[in-house]
Structure 1
Amino acid sequence: SLGFILADAGYDVWLGNFRGTIYSSHKTLTRNDRQFWEFIANELAAEDLPATIDTVLKKTGKTKIQYIGWSQGAMAMFALLSEKPEYNAKVT
């Protein structure tokens, strides 16, 4: 797995998941609540990914992260970087 390879090479690896998976949760809603599922893909780029990036930067004290996105994760990053250009300075 790439994550283990990078961690073994000394990288600080963070694995993120978007909402709507078995690994995600909400502060007040459960998976049985209709509102839990009311989101669209562009919200992943506009809300979820910036929150993840900002959390990693805050927790690590770094000013920039190296991001590897696969499938929807890559699409979300492209959308984020075009919609919120300030994030171009936060990722490589």
Structure 2
Amino acid sequence: LDSATSWVINFPEQSLGFILADAGYDVWLGNMRGNHYSRAHVKFNPDHDEALWDFSWDDMARDDLPSMIYYILNQTKQTQIGYVGHSQGTMVGFAE
């Protein structure tokens, strides 16, 4: 599965994450459940606990994305963010 690294994997002048950062935007890259960045779970072992993989698109839209947005707003002390998603990220973003 894809991850946030897709936004910065090309050369800086070809990667939207770098392009936006260079334009002065505060860029945050989030990762949903299910990619290699979600394997460091505090409760479940991804190789042995099937419960880790028991989630749906609805769970990501209801729980995960709002948690990421809340975290960013809390850290930046801003009242809103601009959101760019691709594929799964777009679907979850429009689900709310």
SS at match of 2:36: coil
Structure 2: where are the runs of 5+ without partners? 1-14
Per the TM alignment, residue 26 of structure 1 is displaced from its structure 2 partner at its CA by 2.4
Which of 23, 26, 29 is the equivalent residue of 2:44? 29
* Percentage of identical aligned residues: 52
TM-score, with structure 2 as normaliser = 0.79
Please give the root-mean-square deviation of Cα atoms over the aligned residues, in Å: 0.9
TM-score, with structure 1 as normaliser = 0.82
Q: Which has the higher contact order (CA 8 A, sep 6+)?
A: 1
Q: Which moved more, 1:18-27 or 1:4-13?
A: 18-27
Which residue of 1 is the match for residue 22 of structure 2? 8
Which residue of 1 is the match for residue 84 of structure 2? 68
Structure 1: where are the runs of 5+ without partners? 81-92
Q: How many residues align?
A: 80
What is the alpha-carbon distance in structure 1 between the residues aligned to residue 26 and residue 34 of structure 2? Answer: 25
